A and B are shown apart, each in its own frame.
Chain A
């Protein structure tokens, strides 16, 4: 048993950490969030130069041959900086699907664009009625000659305003919530029939409602076997869970540090408020929630490559932990900062908001409790 990081992993962490510190302080982050575009292509280009966008891909494809632990290290550090650039959808979700299940031709065609920073991807899987069930798909894929024609609406697609490429889940056969019959399709956002309604989200990110109207794609757009899309999608979402757990422990760590620091310096009644035992215990609880979350984050990321049943249970359990702990730490950090915690000006509220969205992303606590119990 070994919970230590390799030298390479430590170097990777140090590199991302100092990049974020030097280039992504809170003011810079807020400037990016408030810009028209909502992300920085300059930062994205630097991610490419640093090799971050290559991390999980094989060396023969120009990648760095990393696994979930490398992704975890990167996401945790991006979390500390509240980075909005779409690492998760591009590299972890869509890049992961292509890497694990893409044909040689698909990898050839698409991975270089991810690694080089030219392309941004979004995973369009949820629908207005689907809530957290990825099998609940009304978007249809009708076989048409060699290819398919897609029709439907995808809801709250993270990073879609920035993306030029999408992976879309669509039903080739079966009923609305059947687990068989789904396909994952590569769709150019500029393709005829694709339209988006773009908007900001509460955590400083951007998302879209994506409408597909008679979008024609070739047979080469389908990733994996026809009808087997759900398995690929669930696996990708579990990898997404591993990544957002890491992002969330980055947020929690920053919130806990900021709260302890604030309580040491903020004086009321002539003493630092951190001298009050009731607040000390509250911060101890926050610390324990963080430590438990770190444990579950390590656990899930070590188990992502295991068999399906084990992976699913690990992901569900970790997501429940992160959802509960993130909510507790976020709410208490705001409370202990008092009025200051309520302000847009302080970073505390922004960590809290991102943690709030993470609680819902890929399914909330109730959803994963049920999934865990059924696993």
Chain B
């Protein structure tokens, strides 16, 4: 007699409707995109016939695609990295009890309530060479004598855009960290203080390891948001001058809605989707293996 494992049909049946719903909402656009990317598409979205991988071949022949890809990586790493480095200390400070903490938290969170596009427009005005607030302030304080044209050359413009990117990512990331900090067990700190641990040691050996899952979530979510973020760069420079600040998503937008190359644009967005998909899976696997390893280590120590 073979022993049969009983498949629990009832629970599976019960999650089936929501699973199907989720798949159709998430899956359909991706399938549609994949289908579009293998078609010749007219300027106005009419399918003109199946062309196979011609759109992809065109993308891979395009030098602007590669420079945008490299810039996307720089943009994502710099913005996400910068955000994490700044947000963690802010969250730790806001987690401490001090007079006016509520107000301080509101001030840090407030920029979140303003749309990215509006923030970008404000920065564009502030950074204007002749009429901008930034140059006026710097000149009033005699830090500079001549106005700086912040957005005139690509390297400077891109740096400024990264800084703005960091600024707008801070509220969200700080919120994740604050949630994490408030759930940390207080007794480990008390025990460590009794054992004579210094503040830095508390941070390095208790806060940081315990915060790991929250940092990981912040990394994954921020990478996804920042990688796909159009408004800041689009509003401030439209990817210019001379395509020097184009990242994939701004280049994609230009292709789709200015040049009307919807097929090529679909191919690029499919490539972007796979890059993000591979990154997320790889990162999650890596994190899971680390946790697994450290769990193993603990077992060994115990033995």
* Chain A bound to chain B: no
Residues of A within 8 A of B (CB): none
